[in-house]
Amino acid sequence: MKFKKLISGFYETPLSKESKRRFEKFIFVAAVIGLLIHLALIGLLQLGQLSNIGVLRGFQNPVDALYTPFSLILFYEVYCLIYYLPKSITIYIGKQYEIMALITVREMFNELSYLQLSSNTHELKNQPQFLYSMAAILLLFAVIYLYYRMNQRAVKVDNRTNEHDKNLPPKVQHYISAKRALALCVGILFIVFMIVFVHKWVIGSDNLVDLFENSKAVSNMFFSSFFTILILADVVILLFSFAMNDEFHIVMRNSGFVISTTLLKMSFGVEGLVNHILMLSGVVFGTLMLLVFKFYEKIEIPEE
């Protein structure tokens, strides 16, 4: 009982609905300010006011400025992922898919500014990454829609459920408390990783040019490492759910989510078409596992 109260006390401050609303407003303001600063730097470089800096990748086109607000929106999505972890496993997994989609969109904006348009089809064949990204974004969006669409009933129940309800069975209350503790651990590790990678980014850059040039590589390494944490969190959730309910279809669904997250993490280690294939494979696999889970729930299983 003391453990549940302790976890509840730590959880409510950073992960309550009110905290989520405040953080949402903060991210909106920070994203707007970040966009304006990025645009201002691009303008100054174009006007030659910062000629001593040289040519900066990511500061040559106004489209590049979208990278900054999208990076901040990604951090908000990570917060939402942690926020939903104790509330709904399916929404928590869906947030992982949303993060991957937003990372792809962010990279798409980066590619747009360097796309060399030509009427020569042979030239276009030499830069297929742009077309791969377009297809990946469209397919990711479609599969994420299907993922949430097939899970509407559970989402509505989760939205209406009061996790503070004293009438919930003790086993369910323990399960929620355990997931809250896990969410706090993931949140703490997220902050620690962010501090470590920011320190590595700053220390590893000799000048301002290096600082900007290294930002995207550091961001990629950060999310790759963070998805390693999510794989471990998925495994812990699997064990928690097994302790509460050892039904075969629930164990299979949660095991499938572990595999899905692993595929997403692997996509950070490769580039180009293979990156998109691994990313889509992870999202499609998790969605199909949920679909089979829904079908399995409708059949009657022999009792022991």
pLDDT digit of tens for each residue in the chain (304 aa)? 565 565 666 666 777 788 888 889 999 999 999 889 888 888 877 777 665 555 566 677 777 788 888 888 988 999 999 999 888 888 999 999 999 999 998 888 777 766 655 455 555 566 677 788 888 999 999 999 999 998 877 666 665 555 555 566 677 777 888 888 899 999 999 999 889 888 888 787 666 666 666 777 788 888 889 999 999 999 999 888 888 777 888 889 999 999 999 999 999 888 888 999 999 999 999 999 999 999 988 887 776 5
Buried b (16+ CB within 10 A) or exposed e, 216-245: bebbebbbeebbbbbbbbbbbbbebbeebe
pLDDT given for residue 178 in this prediction: 86
pLDDT per residue as tens digits for the range 123-171: 556 667 778 888 899 999 999 999 999 887 766 666 555 555 556 667 7
CA dist., res. 220 & res. 134, Å (int):
19
**Contact between residue 157 and residue 90 where contact means Cβ atoms under 8 Å apart:** no
Cα torsion at 104, 109, 110, 113 (round to 10°)? 150
pLDDT given for residue 121 in this prediction: 53
**Contact between residue 241 and residue 275 where contact means Cβ atoms under 8 Å apart:** no
pTM, to two decimals = 0.85
CA dist., res. 173 & res. 33, Å (int):
42
pLDDT given for residue 208 in this prediction: 62
Residue 225: helix, strand or coil by DSSP?
Answer: helix
pLDDT given for residue 7 in this prediction: 60
With tokens 């999310």, the residue in question is 223
pLDDT given for residue 53 in this prediction: 54
